[in-house]
Structure 1
Amino acid sequence: MDFKILRKEITEKSKYDFVTASTQLEELVFNCTKDEILSIITEIGIIPEDIGHDSSEEKLYTKVSDIIFAKALKEMGYEVQVLRERADCADIIAQSHFHSYSLIGDAKAFRLSRTAKNAKDFKVNSMVHWRGDCDYSVLACPYFQYPKNTSQIYKDALDGNVSLFSWEILYILLKENVKETQELCLKEIWNQSAFIAKSTAVDKSKTNFLATQNKNIAKIIGITNDKFEEYFTSIKRLLVSRGSEEIHYYENERERVEKLSRKEAIQELLISMKLNSKIETIKQFIDQLQK
């Protein structure tokens, strides 16, 4: 299975109720080979532009990103559980088979057209709270969607010991066959925020967090910084190709809209603004008050 096939499965199963759909997709993903997961990891952090905003398909896609994260951790030797709740809790719990520690995980995916992201989008503070009795909190986010310079999320991560991980680094770990064993304990990887915090200046929001973490992880897994960067370069090429596909989708949409009649354009605008739905919601509220 590759990303395109997974995407079709998500579209098809979004017609079912959420629990049924996510359960079926978890079974599908957990039956994938490591090579299949490697190909999917490079793209899962990008939400396709043709998926409707706040749609059932988008909600299912984000859940699948959690499932992919869990599967990657399983390939690294962890016992994992994908939680079904969508309330105030983590999405993944992973336990080491060989060493006495556990972690909670949360996956993030963004649209390439999404611009102004803020600290709340990354839920770093929430992950401190969600950790509970677990030892580490790990966020899997598209690497190139992290803020480039100063950001509150770096201070929050350092203060709360939240690992600002990425799909790209997960790819590297799997590609390098990094796996937790009786002889190899990987908790140093998940504890990077605590390690970096010890050597960070007073203004933690300005720390060069990602670059420092990259060098540390390269050293931990025994590869050179150059090889680490080579992996990132290869992933960048894939992201550029994916970006071109998303642009093509919008170009086709623009062409389609330009051909609409006035009546069709008005109807489509009304649908996109969800005016009828909003009116109906208010009517239902009024009806409840009048009963």
Structure 2
Amino acid sequence: MSAPHVSVLLNEVVEALEPAPGKLIVDGTFGAGGYSRAFLAAGADVAAFDRDPSARRFAADLDAARFRLIEARFSQMDEVLGEGVADGVALDLGVSSMQLDEAERGFSFLRDGPLDMRMGKDGPTAADIVNTAEPAELARIFFVYGEERQSRRVAAAIARRRAESPFERTVDLAEVIERALGGRRGAKVHPATRCFQGLRIAVNEELSELEAGLAAAERVLKADGRLAVVTFHSLEDRIVKGFLAERAGRTPAGSRHAPPVEAGAAPSFRLLFNGARAPDEVEVAANPRARSAKLRAAVRTAAPVWRAAA
């Protein structure tokens, strides 16, 4: 039997959002429902989002009078719920533990499975990208999203191999990447880890989804509503940090993922605390997935939503 799912920084997220009776909390990344259960236990109503239809099995025992699960991207939360209706929004980013554990989803090379990686059921798979993208585009994906310095070498090796036969399985791709990078050489982290991360982010458009989701949270929150975001790698954290700093009036606007926003707008958020909070040693020991996690949180002001510049 697998170990039960543990939500990362759960106590810190609950403390940041202050769920209570009469409040509506949006769980933007339902997963196995760890955050949603904690919000419900505190008396709040919960609207949860997950684009993965298989997540519904984790919601079967939740109180339908106070909870609903919406099969959609979290960037659609304001479209589904309306603007200015939520008291809190939680986002736990990245791939869920359940998705990693299920070989047939193709997220991990630790369990051989089809090269899929889709969080939902639509769009191109990882195999589609690996087998059809130009080597330069593959190298860009591995370098930008996976932060793999030898991305061109990996892309060239993939292009040579796929000319002989297409990639279909996770372990097959991982082995080609490992050979391209010269083997493990005693490394604690598998050589394919960064490329798999980059490919997963590209398949699911995770960074643009995050940008859109943060803007949607700004729209869905009431004045004094709270936003809490848990990230797991530097690409995500930079986007969240930049968004909150910008909306709190602490930095000039601008992002390479999002369109420019209006200049001189009144701050739509104030930071709940400076910097990011990390899990303590006890949590990391109990849940290794928490090791790289960071929590950033902010409170919605009464200022109007920032609009995209013309």
Q: Which has the higher helix share?
A: 1
Tell me if TM exceeds 0.5. Answer: no
TM-score by length of 1: 0.27
Q: State the structure with bigger RCO (CA 8 A, min sep 6), 1 or 2.
A: 2
TM-score by length of 2: 0.25
